[in-house]
A and B are shown apart, each in its own frame.
Chain A
Amino acid sequence: MSDSLSATAVLDEAADGRQPSVNDLTIHVATVNGSGSQSSNNVLMRSIFQMGIPVSGKNMFPSNIAGLPTWFTIRANKDGWIARKKEVDLMVCMNAQTAREDVEALEPGALCIYDAPLNCKSIRNDLIFFEVPFAKLAGELTTDSRLRKLLTNMIYVGIIAEQIGIEREEIVNAITKQFKGKKKAIDPNVQAIDKGIEYAKANLPRQNRWRVERMNKTAGKIIIDGNAAAAIGAMFGGVTVVTWYPITPSSSLCESLIDYMKQHRIGPDGKATFAIVQAEDELAAVGMVLGAGWAGARSMTSTAGPGISLMSEFAGLGYFAEIPGVIWDIQRVGPSTGLPTRTAQGDVLQVWYLSHGDTQHITLFPSSVRECYDFGSEALDLAEMFQTPVFVLSDLDLGMNNWMSDPFPYPEKPIRRGKVLSKEQLDKLGGKWGRYDDVDGDGIPYRTLPGTDHAMASYFTRGSGHDAFARYSEKPEDYKATVDRLAKKIETARGVVPQPVIDRRAGARIGIIAYGTTDWPVEESRHQLRTESSVETSYLRLRALPMSEDVKRFVAGHERIYVVEQNRDGQMADLIRLEVANDQHKIRKVLHYTGLPCDARFITNAVLEMEASISAKEPLLLVRGGVQRKTTQAAPMRGPATREARGED
């Protein structure tokens, strides 16, 4: 066979001088949206996971139901580096629309398995090409055209398995799990796997560059996406009222929650301990959350950037009128006709200041599925403790992709419901209390719930036009007292919200600050900086706003601070600059905003580039990029407190 001959030739050449790599590879699969590749990709990822190898899977999909290109990237790494990696080792080309681009983007020496009609081998000659007649193979399995399409995807799983050494038994296990034990679905899929294995054995040369071997790093772990994790957290956190309006990438949070709640929150009498409402829009969704929070429910909604924009007026009301409620924002690229199915961290400033007047909102930044779970209930606690809307900023990468994690622990602590006066307490107080009276000095007043059976329980809720006893007032001193106390409340929150995770390294002169999913490439980048360039870094992972005092100390303790985030302007870096006053000049921005998750190499290059410029007349203060692999683009940094960066790098 001429195909395999030419492949062998390249293979020998490429093998020259290169170490075979074990349990360290990136697989990139290009398919057409709606072709059913999701289950084969999940099977592929899960079977590697079941072999004990740390793995991640990232789905890059279009805003479309069927027809447009979609990619799935699996990264297996024995050391647990599972952030996105741009360099692809093993490419599977199944999509004619993108085959040329996909092939051209590969590193020399990469392995490319492609569907025969795409004739990828004609595109370049420095790759290892394996041509597979998928249509013919699938045709041998079934005559049903729909099924043939689905099985085609399983065949490439079989081929990859044979090529890199995934155990057949684990694939069968993964298929059994994927199809929930349904024999009718399992059997044809296993046959497709075997078809792929057989074909590879008989027709393709065996390559040794990339191998997977069983190890023991995933035992007892789970695989879950962040949205489902958040849903589980909220359920065990005692959420009672949930409202939502569908929007990618947040819909699956409430959809998972509906499934879980139906299973676990309906009593033996068949009665629900919750209410979930699909609202008519996000305005209504957040309005219901606040109404429910006001009346004493633990309430939440989930949305993405466009929904957050609509919630703006209510967010202000919730802040001023002091009403609990939780809003999950699964961030994506904006606006609606932007890239709705791509990830970003672009809502930081919008959420922190959301609404009119002087507003600031407690905001949490989960970086892992475990933290989605934890914050699922923590956010509800904070909302009730501080009587204010609490936002949780996840993102598409975390929310919709599958991540490994240790199983979530059962919450041992009771939930915290904040300062609510009961009928008995009102009796003790002789009915004397003030809804907005800061009796504890922490900026957090007491409230009563509607329905409290006491003649003095009621109060009238309105924005900020009231005195400490909720009486109508437009007096300057009353208004000022109200907003000053609200500021104090946020001040109190600084030390109560999830505190940063700090890794201070002896001798580190530079520090990195990141939050959310950027944590994954940052940790890997620190490893690269340390092992490849002997640059030691400290790291502060921010988990919430208002910002902990730790941030100031961390910035003060280092010569330069690299704030890495996934937006164009360095939104969090700007907030940090506001906090650190005299240390503003230390802040550097590393910004990745392509719609795809940030990778470690980009950060490493950016940090090194900026470090190399420190003694220049105009040191580089900002690197924006993410598109080109090797070159990063510098753009001028705005703001009076900084010098402009060079433009040409």
Chain B
Amino acid sequence: MAESVLKTSNAEPPKENRVGLKAADYAGGKSTLCAGCGHDAISNQIIRAFYEMSVKPEKVVKFSGIGCSSKTPAYFLSRSHGFNSVHGRMPAVATGAMLANHNLIGIGVSGDGDTASIGLGQFMHMVRRNIPMVYIVENNGVYGLTKGQFSATADEGSKLKTGVLNDLPPMDLCALAVQLGCGFVARGFAGDPKQMVNILKAALAHDGLAVIDVISPCVTFNNHEGSTKGYQYSKEHDEILQQIGFVQSYEQIEVDYEPGEVREVTMHDGSRILLKKLEEDYDPSNAVQALERLYRAVDNGQMLTGMIYLRPEKKSFLSLLNMTDEPLATLPLEKTRPPKSALDQIMRELM
């Protein structure tokens, strides 16, 4: 497996972040998932990313649908409000909350069942609207919580514990997101925490919907001989697109690289994403190339990870709505009730 991360700093991470909090302040409740579940590994990187990005937990809102994956918002960032909603409908709930308060920093956690089956419609419309938040699909190819049935992302030919073979083609959520014009599409692997945390930080810096499909093995129902989303199989088939580095806007870091070797993308908040090319020159701003590469990966049995598509300039839905700066949720009555003269005028028109 190639190195997936571009080192941007040698400095030890500080014990306190820029808002004066410790990593422990980002912890959540104790996980009730199976020991070794990929989902827990992702929660750990979420904690780390928010801590290192110095995001105040009080400004964060966590959303999820239903599933083992959707339980995880209870296991990180206890100091943030969280909402474990209904199966497949988290996008709507999150959209509503973000409309109510556009200052919130949203993170949604879903599963492959939650997103690719029951919630596919809402997922697609959320991508289309470009709601500014992070949307993580913890993808294990099965319905964990209902005890291991195939999901719509299960690979053709992969095998259930019971020996049942999947004979339908998988749905590629990254390809779908690219096609729907998502400005940030990445794939990670729960077994590669360093890549994961960098992707997460970049996603937090994105002003728009950031879709992250994370291969997250279900150790109980899909980690055996014949499963294609277990740890062993994923490690062997992980095809890393590029080495990813993330540099905060305030960091004075110059990374040494040869010209043409690294792509640098400046994000909305001034931070930079550095993408060092590996075997092939991959342009993540080219949707056609992204789709071509994703299809090729399927043909070649590769699990493609890294920054798949990145167009940070796309306008988010909230900016299109042209709302007042103050969140709608807390607008005072003077701002939300028009004056008597307005009612008088309306009544006159109806007389």
List residues of chain A with CB under 8 Å of any chain B CB.
220-224, 232, 235-241, 243, 260, 263-265, 267, 269-275, 277, 279-281, 283-299, 313-314, 317, 407-408, 410-411, 414-415, 448-455, 457-463, 472
Q: Is the CB of B351 within 8 A of A275?
A: no
* Contacting residues, chain A, for B351 (C-beta < 8 A): 220-222, 407
Interface assignment of B333: CB less than 8 Å from any CB of chain A: yes
In angstroms, Cα B328 to Cα A277, docked, is 14
Q: Which of B56-95 contact A (CB under 8 A)?
A: 56-59, 61, 63, 73-74, 78-86, 89, 91-95
* Contacting residues, chain B, for A279 (C-beta < 8 A): 92, 125
* Contacting residues, chain A, for B346 (C-beta < 8 A): 232, 260, 264
Interface centre among A281, A288, A289 (most CB of B within 10 A): A288
Interface centre among A238, A269, A297 (most CB of B within 10 A): A297
Q: Which residue of chain B has the shortest Cβ distance to A461 in the bound complex?
A: B83
Q: Is the CB of B125 within 8 A of A288?
A: no
The answer to whether A415 and B333 touch (CB under 8 A), given A287-B92, A297-B328, A408-B343, is yes
Q: Which residue of chain A has the shortest Cβ distance to B73 in the bound complex?
A: A460
In angstroms, Cα B56 to Cα A295, docked, is 17
The stretch of B43-51, B100-108, B287-295 that contacts the partner chain: B100-108
Q: Is the CB of A410 within 8 A of B81?
A: no
* Min CB–CB distance B114 → chain A (angstroms): 13
Q: Is the CB of B329 within 8 A of A296?
A: yes
In angstroms, Cα B243 to Cα A350, docked, is 56
Q: Is the CB of B96 within 8 A of A290?
A: yes
21 CB-based A-B contacts, threshold 8 Å: A223-B350, A238-B331, A238-B337, A241-B96, A241-B99, A264-B346, A287-B89, A291-B93, A291-B94, A291-B97, A294-B83, A295-B329, A299-B96, A407-B347, A410-B340, A415-B336, A448-B81, A458-B79, A460-B84, A461-B82, A472-B74
**Which of B92, B103, B330, B350 has a CB less than 8 Å from the CB of A284?**
B92
Q: Is the CB of B58 within 8 A of A271?
A: no
| 8 tightest A-B CB contacts, nearest first | A291-B96, A287-B92, A296-B329, A297-B100, A288-B96, A295-B100, A292-B96, A238-B336
Q: Which of B101-130 contact A (CB under 8 A)?
A: 101, 103-104, 121-122, 125
Q: Is the CB of B89 within 8 A of A277?
A: no
* Min CB–CB distance A513 → chain B (angstroms): 32
Q: Which residue of chain B has the shortest Cβ distance to A243 in the bound complex?
A: B96
Q: Is the CB of A273 within 8 A of B335?
A: yes
Interface centre among B86, B328, B333 (most CB of A within 10 A): B328
Given contacts A284-B125, A291-B100, A454-B58, 8 further A-B contacts (CB under 8 A): A236-B337, A240-B336, A243-B96, A267-B335, A285-B92, A298-B336, A314-B86, A460-B83
* Contacting residues, chain B, for A455 (C-beta < 8 A): 58, 79
* Contacting residues, chain B, for A280 (C-beta < 8 A): 121-122, 125
Q: Is the CB of A236 within 8 A of B89?
A: no
In angstroms, Cα B331 to Cα A222, docked, is 31
Q: Is the CB of B104 within 8 A of A295?
A: yes
Q: Is the CB of B327 within 8 A of A451?
A: yes
In angstroms, Cα B83 to Cα A240, docked, is 21
Q: Is the CB of A458 within 8 A of B58?
A: yes
**Which of B58, B344, B350 has a CB less than 8 Å from the CB of A451?**
B58
Interface assignment of B338: CB less than 8 Å from any CB of chain A: yes
* Contacting residues, chain B, for A290 (C-beta < 8 A): 85, 93, 96
Q: Is the CB of A451 within 8 A of B103?
A: yes
The answer to whether A273 and B336 touch (CB under 8 A), given A290-B93, A460-B74, is yes
Q: Is the CB of A288 within 8 A of B92?
A: yes
**Which of B86, B91, B104, B324 has a CB less than 8 Å from the CB of A273?**
B324
Q: Is the CB of B93 within 8 A of A235?
A: no
Interface assignment of B146: CB less than 8 Å from any CB of chain A: no
In angstroms, Cα B96 to Cα A240, docked, is 11
Q: Is the CB of A275 within 8 A of B99?
A: yes
Interface centre among A222, A260, A287 (most CB of B within 10 A): A287
* Contacting residues, chain A, for B322 (C-beta < 8 A): 270-272
Q: Which residue of chain B has the shortest Cβ distance to A463 in the bound complex?
A: B84
The answer to whether A451 and B59 touch (CB under 8 A), given A280-B125, A291-B95, A299-B100, is yes
* Contacting residues, chain A, for B347 (C-beta < 8 A): 222, 407-408
* Contacting residues, chain A, for B36 (C-beta < 8 A): none
**Which of A277, A281, A317, A454 has a CB less than 8 Å from the CB of B95?**
A277
The answer to whether A410 and B343 touch (CB under 8 A), given A287-B92, A461-B82, A472-B74, is yes
* Contacting residues, chain A, for B101 (C-beta < 8 A): 295-297, 449-451
* Min CB–CB distance A157 → chain B (angstroms): 21
Interface assignment of B35: CB less than 8 Å from any CB of chain A: no
* Min CB–CB distance A511 → chain B (angstroms): 35
* Min CB–CB distance A323 → chain B (angstroms): 9
* Contacting residues, chain A, for B256 (C-beta < 8 A): none
* Min CB–CB distance A301 → chain B (angstroms): 10
Q: Is the CB of B324 within 8 A of A294?
A: no
Interface centre among B81, B325, B331, B335 (most CB of A within 10 A): B81
Q: Is the CB of A449 within 8 A of B325?
A: no
* Contacting residues, chain A, for B330 (C-beta < 8 A): 296, 449
Q: Is the CB of B85 within 8 A of A287?
A: yes
Interface string of B306-323 (1 = CB under 8 A from A): 000000000000000111
